[in-house]
Every structure is written in C-alpha cells, then in structure tokens.
Amino acid sequence: MPPELRRSVRSYVIRAGRTTAAQQRALTESWPRFGLDFAPEPLDLERVFGRRAPRMIEIGFGAGEALLAFASEHPEVDCLGIEVHPPGVGHLLLGAEAADLHNLRVIAHDAVEVLAQQIPPAAIDIVHIFFPDPWPKKRHHKRRLIQPEFVALLARVMAPGGTLRLATDWEPYAHHMREVLGASSAFRARTADGFVPRPSVRPLTRFERRGQRLGHGVWDLEYERIGV
C-alpha cells in the first residue's frame, strides 16, 4: 500500500459484538453471491453487477436496514455497502438472501481504503452515510469519518451531479460536517444551510425512534457533487 494511505487513525473500533449462528452461515454461504473481497485495485463495476446502471454506496451501514430498504425499493440502482462490523455484514447478508436482491454487493473493509483504491473515479451517483460514529471527545475528533481528506475521496468516486446524504444525531458533528463540506469546492449544499428534512430513503430505525422518545434531535444534510 502506498505510504500516504497507510493509516494509524481509524474511524472505527471493531467491537466484540456476537455474530449469531445464522449470520455466520450467511457470511460463509452467501459471501460468494453478495461479497466482494477487498483488493487494492479498481473494481470493474459493470462486470460485478452485469450491467451499466446508476450506482449508490452506503458507508457504515450498521445492520443494513436502510441499505436493504433502498436496494429493494430501487431495483434500477446497483448498490454497494461498505461496513467493517462482521455481525452487521452477516445481518445484511441474511436480508439480501431473504429479499433475493440482485442489485446489492458488500465489501467488509475500511471505507477509506475502499474509496481510495477499489472504486473507480466518477463511478458512483449516490452516497449515503447515516449516523457515522460521532467521536464526541475532542481528542477523538480526528477519528471522525467526515474530514477534508475523506471528502476528497468522496469527490473522486462520485459522478458530477451525484447526491451525498448524511445524517447524525450529534449536533456538533452536524456543524462539523457542514464546515468540512462547505470548504470543499467539489460539493454544493442542496439547501441554503445544507440541512434537509429526513429523506424518504432513510427509514426510521429502532435506534432513531428511541432517540425521538428521549427528545434527541437528528440532522440530515444533502450535497451535490458539482459538475466539472
């Protein structure tokens, strides 16, 4: 790997979370159908999906609720999920099997390296990053995914006119996102301040419903990859 991409600061810690027997089975049996192994070379996405269609990526999909809903509701879009948490990947595979999805693939690897090395330039039309780890402590801010270097990677892989959707339940992170995106010449906010109402493509999860009951806020942001 080139030295400039060798990272010591990562945006995640691999949590111990238990992988269930069903998830483990899906990780073994369904990986050949839905999984793409990480390799430091560009993917041929037309070959992977067997067609040329609009493409979306969800980064850090967790258990995959939003990604499964999007892929099911948009068979015309080829969807790629990137997540490092094995039980989450297993959960997504179970859902993908059950829904017999033909337009979904998964990479279980650090999204920073995937975007830098495996996704060809201007190949992606939609990117979703919902509730990235907020890393609230100041000394951990450097671990936040949304940073100028990461936004430059997003700009590289996204096609002009493409849509970037972000959501967070941590207000200071929402403002950090606005600052970082606002400083990028590759993106333009879709509204005056970047904030939008919850998009229909982001389902209300159990986590968010609980937050609502506790009076927590959620901030949705939407940006356009500016054409060249």
Q: Which residues are catalytic?
A: 133
Which is nearer to ligand SAM, 88 or 194 (by Cβ)? 88
Report the SS3 class of residue 179: helix
CB of 124 to ligand SAM, least distance (A): 15
Q: Which CB, 89 or 181, lies closer to ligand SAM? A: 89
Q: What is the Cα–Cα distance from 43 to 168, expressed in whole angstroms?
A: 30
Q: Which residues bind ligand SAM (CB under 6 A)?
A: 11-12, 59-62, 82-85, 88, 110-112, 130-133, 145, 205, 207
CB of 209 to ligand SAM, least distance (A): 12
Task: Give the CA dihedral 113, 115, 120, 123, nearest 10 degrees.
Answer: 160
Pairing outcome for strands 195-196 and 219-225: antiparallel
When the beta carbons of 18 and 51 are compared against ligand SAM, the nearer one is 18
Distance between CA atoms of residues 14 and 114, nearest Å: 17
Q: What is the Cα–Cα distance from 89 to 174, expressed in whole angstroms?
A: 26
* 35 alpha-carbon distance from chain centroid: 16
Q: Smallest gap, in angstroms, from Cβ of residue 43 to ligand SAM?
A: 16
**Least distance in angstroms from the C-beta of 103 to ligand SAM:** 19
Sign of CA dihedral 41, 45, 46, 52: negative
Nearer CB in complex with ligand SAM: 51/209: 209
